[in-house]
Chain A
Amino acid sequence: MSTVSSDVCVDIRSVHKFYGDFQVLFDVNLEIAKGEVCVVLGPSGSGKSTLLRCINHLETIAAGRIYVNGDLIGYSERNGKLYCLAEEAIAAQRRNIGMVFQRFNLFGHMTAIQNVMAGPVLVKGHSRRCAELLAMSLLERVGLADRARQYPSQLSGGQQQRVAIARAMAMQPDVLLFDEPTSALDPELVGEVLETMKDLARTGMTMIVVTHEVGFAREVADRVVFMDQGRIVEKGAPESVLDNPRNPRTQAFLSKVL
């Protein structure tokens, strides 16, 4: 059914979502092209994290469709009927969608390198030797090769988040979702994580970044989306959304954070 052109990576169509009776997403439509860096801004409670979590089916949607690389997420559609996917199929879809969390969520009983190897070894069934080489190169890329044998509890927040980024990349996903990756960090640690993300953006990774870092959006984003009360109220190039916001809510938000 999907008529997705080949350069669209994530296609969000008329998505609605409720928590009980409370509607958190209203008719959200968004297309993210391959290699695009899309930054989602908005006040707390505007639904931006929820939208992100719908993309890998950590949250279910009440209406609409989400496609990643033309693949309908969470369901299969046959003869106009929607069927829930089995757990295995959902897990398979998630393998192509990396996610970085606000609270890092590194596996506490594994060292940094074991965390990065977890995907290739436990999910893809790669050999340890192979996975270790890949993990080491990723840790080098995020500047933490010397911390490979340390446990998350021995790392700073910024280091943990960089390991988490390496862990997500180890699955070689088609798209990386960032859920407020710097919100739990001390101010002096935010820079190193943003630097890692910029580096990633330069390599052509498709990224959807929910954040409050307007500076990052201006510098790295191909497109900025502004959400408020469950709706996308403005989207466009960073210069236009950040410098000449048309929507009064965007204007109010930016005047507070800038």
Chain B
Amino acid sequence: MHQVHEDQQIELNRPIPVKHYGRWLLTAFLLASAVIVASSLATNPNFHWDVVGEYLFDAQILRGVGWTLALTLVAMIFSILIAAALVIMRDSGNPVLSTLSWLWVWFFRGTPVYTQLVFWGLLSVLYPRISLELPGLGAILDLRTKDVFTPAIAAIAGLAFNESAYLAEIFRAGFKAVDGGQTEAAQALGMRRMKILCRIIIPQAMRMIIPPTGNETIGMLKTTSLVLAVPFAYDLTFAANTISNRLYLPIPLLVVAGLWYLSITSLLMWGQSYLERYFGRGIDRNQISIAPKESA
């Protein structure tokens, strides 16, 4: 049977697609496996689903979720700011700043984040007092370190400093990926270095920077579980461990923590896709439609 196009007399091809028997076989196998796993999840009493349900919205767990989110976001914001400064210093052409930036990345990337967190926790042992004296004026600042460097501050500093070293390299790669002609065109217009960076390079580098930075944010979410090293005792993992130690039931509390980490990750991924679409404007072809009407 031939189908003929309405207005023109064109006989359309109707090729028979290649048959993928292997795919059907694999799908059947995976479905069967999923049924087995699901039934074991449902029937194995050791999962203690009643306990999962009981503690999923427990006050201590929710407070842990709040702290984990807060640590993640605040540490990421600081690490992004530090990393931006590090990249600008690195490419500034000033050998002193460039070396400083290199040393920072070398040190914080070169030691384990756990070690760094322990160190920041011990800072008040190392330096019990922070004071600033000016000749002729005497002490203008004198504080106990443990009042300033609280566990929360130590945790955020530890996470942010460590992360900034990785982000700095991601940012640098993103800046490098912007075509050199963009800088030349901006220079030819008479723009200065910082303006070229802020208005020409960064907006275009964001496209390259956002996916790995989202990756790092999700990594940070899980790294916050190490703040126990400070010691900081309010995050999600610590809360879940405390409860499971009390109940002698580690599995259901692991499930509770896992479900929360998964939901936060999903939320972060959703936010990332928005940012990607915004900064892909003009370049990613399918995203051109969201062009802002406003101008340069």
Taking Cβ atoms with an 8 Å cutoff, the residues of A that contact B are 56, 58, 87-88, 91-95, 97-99, 101, 103, 105-111, 113-115, 117-119, 121-123, 128, 131-132, 149, 151-154, 164, 167-168, 171
Contacts and interface: CB of A to CB of B under 8 A. Distances in A.
B190 A109 contact: no
Interface residues of B, number: 28
B251 interface: no
A109 B203 contact: yes
Contacts, number: 104
B281 interface: yes
A107 B200 contact: yes
B181 A103 contact: yes
B190 A95 contact: yes
A117 B285 CA distance: 23
B181 A101 contact: yes
14 contacts: A92-B190, A94-B190, A105-B179, A107-B182, A107-B186, A109-B279, A115-B296, A119-B189, A119-B190, A121-B296, A128-B296, A151-B281, A152-B282, A167-B189
Contacts of A151: 281-283, 288, 291
A171 B282 contact: no
Interface in B176-225: 179, 181-182, 184-193, 195, 199-200, 203-204
Contacts of A168: 188-189
B10 to A, nearest CB: 30
B94 interface: no
Contacts of A115: 296
Interface of B: 179, 181-182, 184-193, 195, 199-200, 203-204, 279, 281-283, 285, 288, 291, 293, 295-296
Given A56-B187, A91-B187, 19 more contacts: A88-B192, A91-B191, A92-B190, A93-B190, A105-B181, A107-B182, A107-B185, A107-B204, A111-B291, A111-B295, A113-B296, A114-B295, A114-B296, A122-B296, A123-B195, A128-B295, A149-B291, A151-B291, A164-B185
